[in-house]
């Protein structure tokens, strides 16, 4: 084969490789570029357009839009063309949102969004008529959210006020809402109750609204009080009192608890009291790779943090960095 043929063949190979790389880059770009959703529609499903109702508790619903990461819900009174009151402007990832409204005329709209584009707002009208009958209404509970886990002894419970309600009855019960064994009860005209000295365990908290003639049913959510510290993690590598010369160094450990809501705090310092820390980091893995600046002795420890905020005990190990 002569030199010219070799050069041609080499050139063809380079061209093939180059085309493959370009195609791969184009494919990779397609994977990370978000779709343009600006021309898509948001189909509103409930409440029906131009609905007139005495139900002040309304759940606004719409169909999901392909390519959307979130939805912006706006509610105004009486209309977007003549805004007297901006009731709500919130971004949610779900396709529904519940709110209590006072009697009046409203318009509400939803826009689907992602990081680079958004649809137009799709709008409907709604009218809430006055009613003193609370039997068909519902109290919207705000905080703590359903399934909330905490280690705090004191918790503030909040909910939305309901039109034409004059009082609210609050209950906190262990385990399940069975009408018995209430830990705490209170009647109030406000939208908050602060409960102190709650013991460990699972609870249901409930609120119902009342006026002179009628009451709502109870709205309920769960809360867990957990004050049990997680197990102490086991440090694996490097071995205690070892010398380390290969960098970066991977610190690894093991914990008995699993789940996405458990985290570990790792500390590396040049003294046993950890006053001169070189690493202080919260991680959701059971390892950490790092390069340390000085050839000296280091101390390290790991503490596990559970979803309630409880912190485990820890062991301390040391190693020496050598050249």
pLDDT one-digit tens code per residue, 262-304: 899 999 999 999 998 999 999 988 999 998 888 899 999 999 9
pTM, two decimal places: 0.67
Pick 199 or 16 by higher pLDDT. Answer: 199
**Nearest Cα to 194, choosing from 144, 149, 234?**
144
**Nearest Cα to 144, choosing from 201, 208, 60, 206?**
206
Mean pLDDT of 144-152: 94
Instruction: Answer whether the bond into residue 224 is a cis peptide, omega within 30°.
Output: no
CA–CA separation, 54 vs 136, rounded Å? 9
167: part of which helix (H) or strand (E)? strand 167-174
Confidence of residue 8 (pLDDT cuts 50, 70, 90): very low
Mean pLDDT of the chain: 88
**Nearest Cα to 297, choosing from 322, 314, 277?**
322
* Three-state secondary structure call for residue 260: coil
pLDDT at 29: 46
Residue 221 contacts residue 204 (beta carbons within 8 Å): yes
Question: 7 pLDDT exceeds 80?
Answer: no
pLDDT at 6: 44
Domains plus CATH for the chain?
A: 44-128 (2.60.40.10), 141-225 (2.60.40.10), 234-321 (2.60.40.10)
**Nearest Cα to 157, choosing from 183, 191, 193?**
193
| C-alpha dihedral (88, 94, 99, 105), degrees to nearest 10 | 60
pLDDT at 293: 83
Confidence of residue 24 (pLDDT cuts 50, 70, 90): very low
Q: What is the DSSP letter of 42?
A: -
pLDDT digits (tens, 9 = 90+) for 172-231: 998 766 656 789 999 999 999 999 999 999 999 999 999 988 999 999 999 999 999 999
Q: Spell out where 259-322 has E strands.
A: 263-269, 277-283, 287-290, 297-305, 316-321
Confidence of residue 13 (pLDDT cuts 50, 70, 90): very low
């Amino acid at each position: 084969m002569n030199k010219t043929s070799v050069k041609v063949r080499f050139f063809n190979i380079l061209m093939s490789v180059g085309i493959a790389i370009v195609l791969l880059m184009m494919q990779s770009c397609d994977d990370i570029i978000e779709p343009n959703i600006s021309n898509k529609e948001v189909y509103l499903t409930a409440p029906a357009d131009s609905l007139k109702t005495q139900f002040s508790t309304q759940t606004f619903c719409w169909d999901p839009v392909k390519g959307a990461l979130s939805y912006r819900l706006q509610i105004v009174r009486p209309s977007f063309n003549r805004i007297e009151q901006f009731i709500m402007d919130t971004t949610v990832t779900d396709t529904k949102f519940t709110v209590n409204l006072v009697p009046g005329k409203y318009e509400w709209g939803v826009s689907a969004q992602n990081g680079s584009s958004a649809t137009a707002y799709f709008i409907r009208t709604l009218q809430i008529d006055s009613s003193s009958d609370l039997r068909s209404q519902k109290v919207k509970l705000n905080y703590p959210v359903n399934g909330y886990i905490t280690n705090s002894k004191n918790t503030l419970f909040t909910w939305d006020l309901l039109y034409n309600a004059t009082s609210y009855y609050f209950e906190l019960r262990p385990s399940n809402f069975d009408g018995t064994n209430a830990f705490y009860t209170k009647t109030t005209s406000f939208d908050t109750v602060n409960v102190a000295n709650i013991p460990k365990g699972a609870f249901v908290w409930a609120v119902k609204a009342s006026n002179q003639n009628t009451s709502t049913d109870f709205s309920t959510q769960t809360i867990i009080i957990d004050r049990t510290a997680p197990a102490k993690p086991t440090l694996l590598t490097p071995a205690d009192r070892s010398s380390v010369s290969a960098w970066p160094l991977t610190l690894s450990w093991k914990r008995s608890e699993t789940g996405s809501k458990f985290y570990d705090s790792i500390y590396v310092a040049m003294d046993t009291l950890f006053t001169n820390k070189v690493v202080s980091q919260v991680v959701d893995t059971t390892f950490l790779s790092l390069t340390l600046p000085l050839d000296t002795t280091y101390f390290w420890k790991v503490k596990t943090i559970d979803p309630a905020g409880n912190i485990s005990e820890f062991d301390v190990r040391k190693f020496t960095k050598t050249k």
